[in-house]
Structure formats: C-alpha cells, structure tokens
Structure 1
C-alpha cells in the first residue's frame, strides 16, 4: 500500500521511523510519473518489499516537502533510513526502480 503524504511533520515522522522509507515524488501533470505510478503501487504490495514503507508526495500539493528534499525533476524516488537520505533515483525506469528497492529489502 502507498500512502499519500501532504504534511511535512508527518513526512518527517515517517522518514525517522525504523522502517526504510521509499518516497515517490510525483506530479499530476508529469507524464512519466503517471506511467510509473502504478508500478510503484504494484511493487509496494510484493512480499519481497514488505519491510519497506512506500509513500507518494505530490510536489504541487506539498511543495515544502519537495523543497526540503531538493526535488528538481520528476519522478524522483528517494530512500530514507533513520531519518537520512541513503539513495535516490530520478526517472521512470521500472527496472532501475526495482533494483533500488532490492538494495534495501
């Protein structure tokens, strides 16, 4: 399951939690974001990624979160562990996204 997060305090709480957090920074007007979005949701439901927390952040609805994370292109996927960013992927590649998730599963 993928949770939509719009509140920076909720985002900060999730990224500091024990679980590895995977964030999809997206926008409704972004074609590549819309293409890979369903794949992100699909990956979130796979047993091999059950240890990961998946969230989406719309850069227009939560510009404070995207600005704090330095987002300049979409889609951008960031991985947080213990409050710190540990990895990032920019672009809509299913294969690269799955490889990123496998590194932390």
Structure 2
C-alpha cells in the first residue's frame, strides 16, 4: 500500500487501470493502454491493478465495476471513468486534467 501511495503522489501523472483477468472489456482495454503509453512515453505512468488480488485497494477506491480508470497526480484523484475508452479519449483526458 505504501508503494501505491508513493506512486500516486508523484509529480508525474499516474493512470491506474483497475481490471480483472476474467473481464472481457478489460482485455479489450489492454492494447489501448499500450498505445497510450507508446504515445505518451515518460509523461505518464500506467499501473494495472487486478481487483481480485488487490481487494482492499479496490474497496478503498470504491471500485464497483471493471475496467475502472483513475488518474492521479500529486496524490489527488483528477479523473475517474469506468468502461472502455479509445486511445484518443484517454490521451485527451490526461492532457486536459494534468498540470
């Protein structure tokens, strides 16, 4: 948990993908997030969080459905969205919401 807090308190934006291995839409989102990372490079950290292996964290953030994306910077949650989004939608959101 302390490693997680350290990550989200970074000056660099951190996009967290709360997912489950059994979730079809989560599988569809994986290549999209890879494209986001390829496009944005070192300007973003993308962290995948398996809700089945991290139930306490999922409960803390009240993740009720997967996939759920959350964007953090400097310890603040800047954005949250459930469901599958396009690469362009995700990048636009990151650029608009971060400092």
Query: How would you bin the TM-score normalised by the shorter chain?
Result: 0.7 to 0.9
Cα pair 1:89 1:97 within 8 Å, conserved:
no
Ranges in structure 2 where 5+ consecutive residues have no aligned partner: none
Q: 2:14 — aligned with what?
A: 21
- Following TM superposition, the consecutive aligned residue runs of length 4 or more in structure 1 with deviations greater than 6 angstroms are none
When the two chains are superposed, the root-mean-square deviation of aligned CA atoms in Å is 1.6
Which of 37, 42, 46 aligns to 1:50? It is 42
The count of corresponding residues between Structure 1 and Structure 2 is 97
Q: In structure 1, what is the Cα distance between the partners aligned to 2:71 and 2:62?
A: 13
- Normalized against structure 1, the TM-score is what? 0.82
2:2 corresponds in structure 1 to 9
Contact 1:24 1:57 in 2 (8 A): yes
Paired residues of 1:26 and 1:58 also in contact (CA < 8 A): yes
